[in-house]
Amino acid sequence: MAPLDNLIITFYLAFIGFAAWLFRRFSNSSSDFIQGGGTMMWWMAGATAFMTQFSAWTFTGAAAKAFEDGISVMFIFWGNALGFLVAAAFFAKRYRRLRVETAMEVIRIRFGGVSEQVFTWLSFPITLMACAIWMNGLAAFFSALFAIPVTTTILTMGIVVTLIAISGGAWTVSVTNVMQLILLIAITFVIGVTAFQALPEPTAVWHAFQPIYGEGVPHTAIFVAWALAMLLQQTMSNNHTLSSYRFLTTANDNDATKAALLAGGLFLFAPLLWFAPAWFVASLGVDLHAIYPALGHSANNGAYLYFIQHVMPQGVLGLVMVALVAATISPLTSAHNRNAGIVVRSLYQVWIKPDASGREQLIVGKIATLMSGAVATLAALLLASVESYSLFEMMILFAAFIQMPLNIPSLLALVTLKTPNWSGWATVLVGCLVSLTMFFLFDLRWFTLLPLSEREVKELTVVATLIAHIVFTGGFFLLTRVFFSQEPQRIQQQRAALAEQLATPIREKEQAPINHLQGIYVGSITGVAGLGLIVIGFFLEADAQWPFFTTGGLVIAFSALLIVRRSQKNVTCVNG
């Protein structure tokens, strides 16, 4: 790694560390630490929603999928876009109208205390497993680039992420997410546009992959089924109760809707820029296994890296490392903050000390953040030894087999209110049985005699698992409606009150006062980062300057927009 790359990484870590230190003073209570006090601007919540849906895995495991199979990977990210647009139309405002601070409080309101505890204890290992996959995605990149042991990268990232999350909770997490989003969009925009320009013609991607969705799927119908399954799976993943924390930080339900629209809009176009470099490398017919032998069977994870090393000018590698670290820090810090909120609200206050003071809750939240970071790091180290599946396959199988038992009932929780309280934990149990059956007993030969390729077997297994969960897990949940009439009168009255609450927008007098200086602070700090990139560009050779000037200019433009809009808001508030 060149000295310039070292300088850029050092500058970035100092920048994020300073931002976390500056915004730590916004967390003065447990509510601030867990939920940001419900006073975050919609664009900050939207940035967090967007940044928590991808990680370095996007530029390693998912880039490998783009390198191997063309546009196939796009359906996962377009599924995110569809999911957030559905959230904007229906789910986001309903979650915010519940007027709670954590996702598990939503479960308690809808299904009662027993289901809350079941979801709480099952969500921890699922969240920590996701963190482990994200950290391995970054470790794979660093291992290919610098021959740094995977364990070293995982340990370093674990420490950095935990310190950021513990410093100021939801505030430092969301603020750093916004700043990292601005940097990430600017950097990947420059690289993505360069990749498209480097293609000999716009249709080069089509020529590189025959068919366009890659090899190994002789039966087109199987790919179509898989693509539709990814759209549906990601839509469900973005709208279930356990992911509702993204919308609980906004001031009102309208802001929650705007946050979802922002995230959905970004996911429509950003992935095209992310995967263009991998498509370009594929069009060259590069053998990545020969170039990155240290990565072994995962050598294709280096597709994005190859483009940076062989096409982009000096110093851009450091920018890409910033983008990768940013993409990993965001979902990790959000996950640890979410775990802390669950520990405080659903464990400590339920089982240990219901009347705990605000300061006690804040301390417990920070301890929980520390423990979450430590266990996630350990899980990542264990996962690093698994070689039978690629990073891409791990993520897809994880979503299909492990997350679905919880996602189905938590997704349908606010779609239909007339199911008994026990429908929550009972549906999770049914979902676990479905996953176990599909993983250990299911055989595709029960349904087809066609000879299937290895890729087709894996993709059809994911499709079949999703269908099984929709039919059996979702069907079981809906069938429990027939028992709702047997619920005590108290429960039925609570459910009627819940329906009324979901239909009632948050009134202005219910909203906590919003500090519009958020935008000015974030814009100012991020603007300094953009200026720093431009300054670095002046010290480079002429042909290496343009990426830094362009990226820095974009960062400054976004920062100026935040400052100007927030300044106008402040003036309006003062005049009002």
Average pLDDT over residues 148-154: 82
How far apart are alpha carbons 244 and 248 in whole angstroms?
Answer: 7
Annotated domain spans of the chain: 3-385+504-511, 515-576
- pLDDT at position 335 is 80
pLDDT of residue 527 exceeding 80, the answer is yes
How far apart are alpha carbons 554 and 319 in whole angstroms?
Answer: 14
Using 50, 70 and 90 to split pLDDT, how confident is the model at 235?
very high
Using 50, 70 and 90 to split pLDDT, how confident is the model at 401?
low
Please give the structure tokens belonging to residue 62: 């998912």
Tens digit of each residue's pLDDT (9 = 90 or more) over 181-223: 788 888 888 898 888 888 777 666 666 666 677 777 777 888 8
Using 50, 70 and 90 to split pLDDT, how confident is the model at 572?
very low
Average pLDDT over residues 423-445: 88
Average pLDDT over residues 530-543: 87
pLDDT of residue 402 exceeding 80, the answer is no
Q: Which amino acid is at 201?
A: E
Using 50, 70 and 90 to split pLDDT, how confident is the model at 25?
low
How far apart are alpha carbons 34 and 29 in whole angstroms?
Answer: 9
DSSP readout, 114-143?
Answer: HHHHHHHHHHHHHHHHHHHHHHHHHHHHHH
Tens digit of each residue's pLDDT (9 = 90 or more) over 244-255: 878 888 888 899
DSSP readout, 356-420?
Answer: --HHHHHHHHHHHHHHHHHHHHHHHHHHTT--SS-HHHHHHHIIIIIIHHHHHHHHHTTT---S-
Between 405 and 149, name the one with better pLDDT: 405
Return the ∠ at Cα 118 (arms to 104 and 46), rounded to 5°.
Answer: 30
Residue count of the chain, please give it.
Answer: 576
Average pLDDT over residues 374-389: 78
- pLDDT at position 185 is 84
How far apart are alpha carbons 497 and 495 in whole angstroms?
Answer: 5
- pLDDT at position 409 is 94
Q: How many CB atoms lie within 10 A of CB 397?
A: 16
Return the ∠ at Cα 477 (arms to 473 and 480), rounded to 5°.
Answer: 140
- pLDDT at position 427 is 96
Tens digit of each residue's pLDDT (9 = 90 or more) over 553-568: 998 998 888 787 655 5
- pLDDT at position 301 is 84
pLDDT of residue 49 exceeding 60, the answer is yes
% of the chain beyond a pLDDT of 90: 23
Average pLDDT, the chain: 82
Between 233 and 244, name the one with better pLDDT: 233
DSSP readout, 403-472?
Answer: IHHHHHHHHHTTT---S-TTHHHHHHHHHHHHHHHHHHT--GGGT--S---HHHHHHHHHHHHHHHIIII
Using 50, 70 and 90 to split pLDDT, how confident is the model at 30?
low
Q: Which amino acid is at 303?
A: A
pLDDT of residue 286 exceeding 50, the answer is yes
Average pLDDT over residues 160-188: 75
Q: Are 183 and 555 in contact (CB under 8 A)?
A: yes
Going by C-beta distance under 8 Å and a sequence separation of 6 or more, which residues neighbour residue 521? Answer: 22, 23, 175
pLDDT of residue 576 exceeding 50, the answer is no
DSSP readout, 148-186?
Answer: --HHHHHHHHHHHHHHHHHHHTHHHHHHHHHHHHHHHHH
pTM of the model: 0.81
Average pLDDT over residues 80-92: 95
Please give the structure tokens belonging to residue 5: 């790359």
Tens digit of each residue's pLDDT (9 = 90 or more) over 455-469: 788 888 888 989 999
Using 50, 70 and 90 to split pLDDT, how confident is the model at 472?
very high
Q: Which residue has the tokens 């300057």?
A: 545
Provide CATH code, domain 3-385+504-511: 1.20.1730.10
Using 50, 70 and 90 to split pLDDT, how confident is the model at 79?
very high
Q: Is 285 helix (H, G, I), strand (E, B) or coil?
A: coil
Alpha helices (H) in 209-357, listed in sequence order: 220-237, 253-284, 288-291, 303-310, 316-342
- pLDDT at position 460 is 87
How far apart are alpha carbons 533 and 536 in whole angstroms?
Answer: 5
Between 315 and 108, name the one with better pLDDT: 108
Tens digit of each residue's pLDDT (9 = 90 or more) over 126-138: 788 888 878 887 7
How far apart are alpha carbons 394 and 131 in whole angstroms?
Answer: 12
Q: Which of 2-6, 192-196, 217-221, 353-357 has the lowest mean pLDDT?
A: 2-6
Cα–Cα distances (Å) from 457 to 404, 443, 460, in that order, read 20, 10, 5
Q: Is the dihedral of CA 205, 206, 207, 208 positive or negative?
A: positive
Highest mean pLDDT among 170-184, 310-324, 468-482: 468-482
% of the chain beyond a pLDDT of 70: 86
How far apart are alpha carbons 492 and 197 in whole angstroms?
Answer: 61
Average pLDDT over residues 354-370: 83
Average pLDDT over residues 229-257: 88
Side-chain-facing half-sphere of 479: CA atoms under 13 Å: 10
- pLDDT at position 27 is 59
How far apart are alpha carbons 499 and 427 in whole angstroms?
Answer: 22
Highest mean pLDDT among 257-271, 324-338, 359-373: 257-271
Between 389 and 413, name the one with better pLDDT: 413
Candidates 241, 266, 426, 415; CA nearest to 330 is 266
pLDDT of residue 502 exceeding 50, the answer is yes
